[in-house]
């Protein structure tokens, strides 16, 4: 089967979607399928890539670590003619997601969309974030999903949520699988030594993009509180992003910066080593559709302490393979870490066994097999154009553009006043928009 994967984020970008696309593509190819990945350019990407088409992009959009691309399907025509795609799989409803839609419609191919993200929780990266813009983000994703032939939801929580929001296209739960072989072994002891972490320390770890939507200020408060009462404990953070400075500031304020170890972005074996250096994995994000890092940690036999949220409750079972917390306070989170740190060896061994069983239930071969079966079913169906749904989607795009233009107009007017030397003079009538 010839599969086109269209995504706004891809390696070397660090994030759940990029890693999901890479993991599925690798497994599909291992099974004898051909995969063409269409993705933006990113700093540090390999000079020579096989079966990857890079689209020119603006880097670090609005202070984020994302790229913004121009959705131009025409640039791909020659490549796609040669590749002869049979399935188009989109991983976003905007930018290159629009390109995926146009490719599928023009070539009359089945279109699959994975609803990876709660997009309304990322509008702070857009100038003029507002409740209206958040609602438009929801509507955009919903209308886009209804233009596709099949929607993959990474978890049952997200499947229920998007149906409630109005997604009428068929929805199948297909999580991103975990590579058991990759994360099942690692040199935790060596990694600790390389980071200056004592061999007998109790290590609380976290892996991911360090960004505000991951609720990292809360997590840092909880971890710093835990350290105050546990002199043997250290914190290991792998990843990078704008919230790293916030984390460091909180630990410094509490006098715990010497026990905070920031490893930066880790790839391949080093990431597996980092997981094996941990005694527990801490996770506070409430914006996930699937906690990929949770299953990676569990593949390394590491139990998880996390807040109850979509994409998390399907993985973590309270006091079975970790702690799932309904109370969102630093005190409750620190107490859960204390509970796990105090488990006797026999109970901790039983907990780790449950952790490994959970990881096996989310194996990559299992989830990829489910996705490929859906692809095969779609190939047997006739192409449907969905002109009415396409018009609705176009209207939502126009509304979003109008909202953005209004907010930018207000910001521009205010900026002109503040920088023109008139800020100290009498107030003038606000601009009429």
- Split at pLDDT 50, 70, 90, the class of 26 is very high
Q: Which one is predicted more confidently, 129 or 179?
A: 179
Phi, psi of 208 (to 5 degrees): 155, 175
Percent of the residues in the chain that have a pLDDT greater than 90, as a whole number: 63
For residue 203, tell me if it sits in a domain.
yes
| Domain assignment of residue 59, given as a range | 2-177+367-414
Q: What number is the average pLDDT over the span 220-241?
A: 96
Q: Which residues are bridge partners to 69 per DSSP?
A: 57
Q: What is the distance between the alpha carbons of residues 263 and 268, in angstroms, rounded to a whole number?
A: 14
Q: Positive or negative CA dihedral for 154, 157, 159, 165?
A: negative
pLDDT at 280: 98
pLDDT at 398: 67
Q: What number is the average pLDDT over the span 290-304?
A: 94
227 and 103, same structural domain?
no
Structure-block tokens of residue 42:
């990113």
Residue 112 in this model has a pLDDT that exceeds 70: yes
- Condensed to tens digits (0 to 9), the pLDDT of residues 49-88 reads 999 999 876 554 444 444 455 545 456 889 999 999 999 9
76 and 34, same structural domain?
yes
Q: Length of the chain, please?
A: 433
For residue 190, tell me if it sits in a domain.
yes
Residues 6+ apart with CB under 8 A from 151: 112, 113, 114, 115, 145, 162, 167, 169, 170, 171, 172
Residue 380 in this model has a pLDDT that exceeds 60: yes
pLDDT at 397: 67
290 and 144, same structural domain?
no
Q: Do strands 304-307 and 150-153 pair parallel, antiparallel, or not at all (unpaired)?
A: unpaired
Q: Give the Å distances, CA to CA, from 319 to 278, 286, 330, 350.
A: 18, 20, 19, 11
Q: Which one is predicted more confidently, 78 or 267?
A: 78
139 and 109, same structural domain?
yes
For residue 428, tell me if it sits in a domain.
no
Of the candidates 375, 378, 433, the residue with the CA atom closest to the CA atom of residue 407: 433
Q: Which residues are bridge partners to 317 per DSSP?
A: none
pLDDT at 278: 98
Q: What is the distance between the alpha carbons of residues 284 and 290, in angstroms, rounded to a whole number?
A: 13
For residue 423, tell me if it sits in a domain.
no
357 and 243, same structural domain?
yes
312 and 268, same structural domain?
yes
Q: Which one is predicted more confidently, 322 or 74?
A: 322
For residue 350, tell me if it sits in a domain.
yes
224 and 323, same structural domain?
yes
- 3-class SS of residue 145: helix
Chain-wide mean pLDDT for the chain?
86
For residue 125, tell me if it sits in a domain.
yes
For residue 432, tell me if it sits in a domain.
no
138 and 46, same structural domain?
yes
pLDDT at 394: 67
278 and 340, same structural domain?
yes
**Residue that terminates a domain, selected from 329, 345, 362:** 362
Q: Count CA atoms within 13 Å of residue 197 on its CB side.
A: 29
Of the candidates 302, 94, 284, 92, the residue with the CA atom closest to the CA atom of residue 178: 302
Provide the number of structural domains found in the chain. Answer: 2
For residue 425, tell me if it sits in a domain.
no
Q: What is the pTM of this model?
A: 0.75
Q: What is the distance between the alpha carbons of residues 184 and 422, in angstroms, rounded to a whole number?
A: 64
Q: Which one is predicted more confidently, 429 or 35?
A: 35
How many other C-beta atoms are found inside a 10 Å radius of the C-beta of residue 153? 27
Residue 405 in this model has a pLDDT that exceeds 70: no
Q: What is the DSSP string of 363-432?
A: BHHHHHHHHHHHHHHHHTSPP---HHHHHHHHHHHHHHHHHHHHHHHHHHHHHHHHHTT-TTS---PPPP
123-135 burial, b at 16+ Cβ within 10 Å, e below that, comes to bebbebeeebbbe
- Split at pLDDT 50, 70, 90, the class of 418 is very low
Q: Give the Å distances, CA to CA, from 350 to 41, 205, 417, 423, 427.
A: 45, 21, 65, 66, 69
Q: What is the distance between the alpha carbons of residues 18 and 25, in angstroms, rounded to a whole number?
A: 11
405 and 347, same structural domain?
no
How many other C-beta atoms are found inside a 10 Å radius of the C-beta of residue 432? 4
Residue 322 in this model has a pLDDT that exceeds 70: yes
- The CATH number for 153's domain is 3.40.50.2000
**Residue that terminates a domain, selected from 362, 388, 406:** 362
- Split at pLDDT 50, 70, 90, the class of 402 is low
**Residue that terminates a domain, selected from 347, 362, 377:** 362
173 and 187, same structural domain?
no
First-last CA distance in the chain: 52
211 and 335, same structural domain?
yes
């Amino acid at each position: 089967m010839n599969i086109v994967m269209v995504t706004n984020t891809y390696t070397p970008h660090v994030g759940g979607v990029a890693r999901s696309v890479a993991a599925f593509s690798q497994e599909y190819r291992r099974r004898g399928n051909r995969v063409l990945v269409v993705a933006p350019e990113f700093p540090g990407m390999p000079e020579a890539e096989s079966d990857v088409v890079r689209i020119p992009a603006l880097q670090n959009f609005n202070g984020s670590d994302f790229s913004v691309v121009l959705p131009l399907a025409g640039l791909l025509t020659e490549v796609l003619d040669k590749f002869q795609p049979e399935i188009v799989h989109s991983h976003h409803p905007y930018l290159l997601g629009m390109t995926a839609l146009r490719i599928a419609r023009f070539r009359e191919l089945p279109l699959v969309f994975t609803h990876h993200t709660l997009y309304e929780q990322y509008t702070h990266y857009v100038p003029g974030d507002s409740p209206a813009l958040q609602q438009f983000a929801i509507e955009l994703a919903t209308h886009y999903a209804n233009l596709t032939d099949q929607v993959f939801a990474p978890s049952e929580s997200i499947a229920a949520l998007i149906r409630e929001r109005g997604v009428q296209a068929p929805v199948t739960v297909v999580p991103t699988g975990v590579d058991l072989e990759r994360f099942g072994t690692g040199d935790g002891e060596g990694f600790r030594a390389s980071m200056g972490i004592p061999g007998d320390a109790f290590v609380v770890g976290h892996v991911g993009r360090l960004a505000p939507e991951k609720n990292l200020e809360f997590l840092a408060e909880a971890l710093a509180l835990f350290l105050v009462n546990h002199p043997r404990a250290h914190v290991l953070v792998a990843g990078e992003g704008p919230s790293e400075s916030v984390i460091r500031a909180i630990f410094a304020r509490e006098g715990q910066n010497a026990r905070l170890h920031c490893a930066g972005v880790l790839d391949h074996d080093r990431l597996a080593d980092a997981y094996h250096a941990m005694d527990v994995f801490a996770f506070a994000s409430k914006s996930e559709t699937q906690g990929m890092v949770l299953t990676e940690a569990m593949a390394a036999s590491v139990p998880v302490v996390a807040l109850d949220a979509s994409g998390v409750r399907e993985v973590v079972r309270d006091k079975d393979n970790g702690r799932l917390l309904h109370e969102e306070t630093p005190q409750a989170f620190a107490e859960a870490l204390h509970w796990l740190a105090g488990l006797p060896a026999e109970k901790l061994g039983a907990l780790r066994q449950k952790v490994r069983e959970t990881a096996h239930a989310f194996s990559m071969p299992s989830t990829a097999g489910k996705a490929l079966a859906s692809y095969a079913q779609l190939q047997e169906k006739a192409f449907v154009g969905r002109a009415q749904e396409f018009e609705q989607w176009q209207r939502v795009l126009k509304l979003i553009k109008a909202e953005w233009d209004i907010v930018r107009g207000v910001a521009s007017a205010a900026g002109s006043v503040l920088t023109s030397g008139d800020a100290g003079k009498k107030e003038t009538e606000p601009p009429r928009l």
